[in-house]
Chains A and B, each alone.
Chain A
């Protein structure tokens, strides 16, 4: 079997070039985050981590992810069930709407929410009469994060559920399964890994979102500063080690995300081979 580019020299040159470029372009920046965070040793790192504002930023970031992930999980499952199990007019349009957050720049997403819920927006002025303020407070930050991350779960589920078809579910219904049983016993086991994958993508983006959240945060220290915003504030204050301490925390989450993704892919590939 001969293939294009199989000559040992071509192979060696291309692999070396790819590895070198990736190292320079991706690995060096990743490594430098941790290098900068520990530049002055372990003690300043711990000191920065236990800083009151950093701790509050961590809590707020976790809160946002904790609300966003379940909301988008539930929405993603319902949407995927709807567009892959039923045919109805407007199905294609609905799938297009879901891609809006990917097409809209995060800064524009933040602006849209600010215009709607801000004091000058029609909904914002109604709410402010009721003494509800969403913008420059955590509920607004949760809302834009939900907006920015809502396609991930649905995007993972739709192609898979479409490929699987609905024969199993229909069989279960004929055997008398109710809606919840049907989902839990028949559908869920088949989509489990895609669901996990969608959740980790949603989670990673919810924790790391900057542009959209920055627009609606108002950056009140200790109140509306998430971890990425804290990175920015410390960096602007020329507190490099502090900024990179928070950055290292976020980078560690990113690395975990990549590892989990790799393991999941390996797992599905192996299962695919066994079934083939």
Chain B
């Protein structure tokens, strides 16, 4: 190994390892410990409880709807922000980060108030028989709100980096706008769209603060997985909570792994073998 020219290796290694062990890794040991106390049949019973199974279904359905919406909304906004200059663009751009800056509990009570039957938007929809608050649609809405930035912020830089000549070549050769987008632009941004949608889905699966206010939390109908986890804790059923947490963590880690592998493949194709970072 090269001799270290710069100072501070031992100090920064020490501080980092201490922090990582105490803050990040030590708490994980407790989950393992708690799970080790369960037999396989107890564990299986804890993660396949019928009420919990219903909550898996609601969470997956709502998260899939939310990330699908975000894929379309994010693509539109990324395109408009990357391609056009217009008054108010800076404000529109800044607004995209609002869902990350706004505390989730605030988003939760706001959406619940707006979309409830006597809320400003809910009252408009009620005559048509559309009820968003206290249904799975409300859960999807809250999930979509909190994960807006993912698709926009992954697709926007890719679009900004596309050279003008790509467009020109396609159009000069006589392609229509739509055809040129589908055959020239889309292949470039597809990996970013999929990554962003995947991140949005992962975030939606674990969302809690924004969801619980608008969900109505009816057993078997509108309970999400993170609420079930919180409920187990309130019942002091720590083992049950740990079992649910293990499922949640496994799913989100697998998702992130899949996204990273996908990204790796994409970067290798782009940069001829070297992975950035």
Contact = CB atoms under 8 A, between A and B. Distances in A.
Interface of A: 1-5, 7, 10-11, 14-15, 17-19, 21-22, 25-30, 32-33, 36, 74-75, 78-79, 81-82, 85-88, 94-95, 97-101, 103-109, 111-116, 118, 120-123, 143, 146-147, 150, 159, 162, 166, 169-170, 173, 178-179, 182-183, 204, 207-211, 214-215, 227-229, 231-232, 235, 240, 243-244, 247, 250-251, 254-255, 257-259, 261-262, 266
B230 A209 contact: no
A78 B208 contact: no
Contact of B16 (A94, A146, A210, A211): A94
Contact of A228 (B106, B229, B277): B106
Interface stretch (B47-55, B72-80, B131-139): B72-80
Nearest to B81: A18
Contact of A208 (B106, B110, B114, B245): B106
B241 A7 contact: no
Contacts of B16: 75, 78-79, 82, 94
What 7 pairs between A and B have smallest CB-CB spacing?
A105-B206, A208-B103, A116-B30, A210-B209, A112-B27, A115-B30, A254-B101
Contacts of B226: 105, 107-108, 211
B42 interface: no
Contacts of B209: 106, 210-211, 214, 228
Contacts, number: 274
Interface string B105-132: 1110111011000001100000000000
A75 B238 CA distance: 31
Contacts of A262: 90, 93-94
Contacts of B105: 208, 210, 228-229, 231-232, 247
B205 interface: yes
Given A4-B185, A150-B23, A258-B98, 7 more contacts: A17-B76, A78-B12, A103-B252, A211-B209, A215-B230, A232-B105, A232-B109
B64 to A, nearest CB: 17
B145 A104 contact: no
Contacts of A207: 103
Contacts of B171: 2-4
B253 to A, nearest CB: 6
B61 interface: no
Given A10-B177, A29-B110, A103-B253, A113 B102 contact: no
Which DSSP category, helix, strand, loop or mixed, fits chain B's interface? helix
A65 to B, nearest CB: 12
A123 B230 CA distance: 22
B7 A182 contact: yes
Which DSSP category, helix, strand, loop or mixed, fits chain A's interface? helix
Contacts of B40: none
A14 B30 contact: no
A22 B30 contact: no
Contacts of B148: 25-26
B99 A247 contact: no
21 contacts: A4-B181, A25-B148, A29-B107, A88-B13, A100-B24, A103-B253, A108-B226, A109-B27, A112-B31, A116-B26, A147-B23, A147-B27, A173-B5, A173-B7, A178-B7, A215-B233, A232-B109, A247-B109, A250-B103, A259-B94, A261-B94
Contacts of B86: 15
A11 B106 contact: no
Interface stretch (B162-170, B190-198, B263-271): B162-170
Interface residues of B, number: 94
A173 to B, nearest CB: 6
Contacts of B76: 14, 17-18, 21
Contacts of A18: 76-77, 80, 92
B222 interface: no
A30 B27 contact: no
Contacts of A147: 23-24, 27
B180 interface: yes
A243 B109 contact: yes
Given A15-B86, A111-B241, A111-B245, A106 B206 contact: yes
A105 B98 contact: no
B5 A170 contact: yes
A166 B79 CA distance: 36
A11 B110 CA distance: 32
Contacts of B168: 1-3
A113 B27 contact: yes
A210 B107 CA distance: 11
B218 interface: no
A179 B76 CA distance: 48
Residue from B102, B107, B245, B249 with most neighbouring chain A CB atoms (10 Å): B102
Contact of A29 (B28, B29, B111, B208): B111
